[in-house]
Amino acid sequence: MPWLVLIGGNLFFAFATLFGFIILRRNRAINRAIDIKNQELNAANARLERLTKTDCLTGISNRRCFDEYLDQEFRRAAREGKPIALLLIDIDYFKAFNDTYGHQAGDRCLTLVATELERTLKRPADMIARIGGEEFGVLLPNTTNGEVVAKQCKAVLERLAIEHKASDVYPFVTISIGVVSAMSVANQTIESLFNTADAALYQAKKGGRNRVRAIKINGEVPKVLVSLC
Ligand SMILES: Nc1nc2c(ncn2[C@@H]2O[C@H](COP(=O)(O)OP(=O)(O)OP(=O)(O)O)[C@@H](O)[C@H]2O)c(=O)[nH]1
């Protein structure tokens, strides 16, 4: 009965084609679903990554992010023989600000200062982070004179004119800034760079606050104090 074989064969072929078509569609749907899930996962990971690098009060970068960037840019400066500048910025008499206006006003002040300082930085590679309670770090890769940016930061605070009647230096919120500008990071470490900026900040505080203290480093040449303004 060849006709039976023929019909059976055709039926088999038809079912096999249909089955294959269904499987193909199903696979496509599964692949699409996997793609969507992967995209969601990547977006969630990116959000998480951003969160781990963001200071939750001010919205700018946090200490961890700053340290990673400093490490990366210090290595680059060493490798390429490029200059780098580091600023440490500290709000003056912030404890007195909190005591006078309350902790929430203190938080708002920190956020405003952070936002405005961030807007001051012009180059894409420049970075600001909140690295302590009322302390900010600014890293300026490929920059020979961080003092210029420091003065701009100080001017920004003057324009903001946030009332601070408990301040001993000025009736508005002010900042002290320690700057280290390294023409070359040869014979330096990240720690020595940081310590130099910290020493400059200490001098700015000791010198009366509301000022910039800048130190220039040039290879092996000893640190030179270049300005007190
Ligand atoms: N509102 C608020 N205050 C904070 C935060 N983090 C730290 N502070 C406060 O910042 C103040 C820092 O005080 P000090 O280290 O004594 O420094 P200062 O009063 O600014 O004095 P100088 O730096 O010497 O001018 C402390 O009172 C902290 O409680 C924060 O996230 N929010």
pLDDT in tens, 22-56: 888 889 989 999 998 998 898 888 888 888 999 99
**Average pLDDT, stretch 131-159?**
98
Q: How confident is the model at residue 18, as a pLDDT? A: 86
Which 3 state secondary structure label does DSSP give 173? coil
The model's pTM: 0.84
- Beta carbons within 10 angstroms of residue 227's beta carbon: 14
Predicted pLDDT at 224: 47
Cα–Cα distance, 63 to 133 (Å, whole number): 11
Q: CB of 72 within 8 A of CB of 190?
A: no
> Percent of the chain at pLDDT above 90?
73
Active site residue 134: yes
What pLDDT is attached to residue 1?
67
Compute, in angstroms, the gap from residue 91 CA to the centroid of ligand 1: 8
The pLDDT of residue 127 is above 80: yes
Pocket around ligand 1 at a 6 A CB cut-off: 57, 90-96, 98, 103, 106-107, 110, 133-134, 205, 209
Tell me how far the alpha carbon of residue 163 lies from the centroid of ligand 1, in angstroms: 16
Average pLDDT over the chain reads 92
CA of 225 to the centre of ligand 1 (A): 27
Give the pLDDT confidence score for residue 96 in this predicted structure: 98
pLDDT tens sequence across 165-195: 999 999 999 999 999 999 999 999 999 999 9
Best mutation site among 94, 110, 111, 112 for ligand 1 pocket (most ligand atoms within 8 Å of CB): 94
- Decide if pLDDT at 222 tops 50: no
What's residue 221's pLDDT? 47
CA-nearest residue for atom 4, ligand 1, is: 133
Closest CA to 129 of 61, 50, 72, 55: 61
Give domain limits for the chain: 1-52, 63-228
User: In this structure, which amino acid lies at residue 206?
Assistant: K
Q: Which of 73, 118, 134, 135 is catalytic?
A: 134
Q: What does the pLDDT read at residue 228?
A: 47
pLDDT at residue 77 tops 60: yes
Of 169, 86, 187, residue with least CA distance to 127: 86
Q: In angstroms, what is the span from residue 176 Cα to ligand 1's centroid? A: 13
Q: Which two three-digit tokens encode residue 173?
A: 């919120």
What is the rounded CA–CA span in Å between residue 195 and residue 215? 11
Class assignment of domain 63-228?
Answer: alpha beta
DSSP code for 208: T
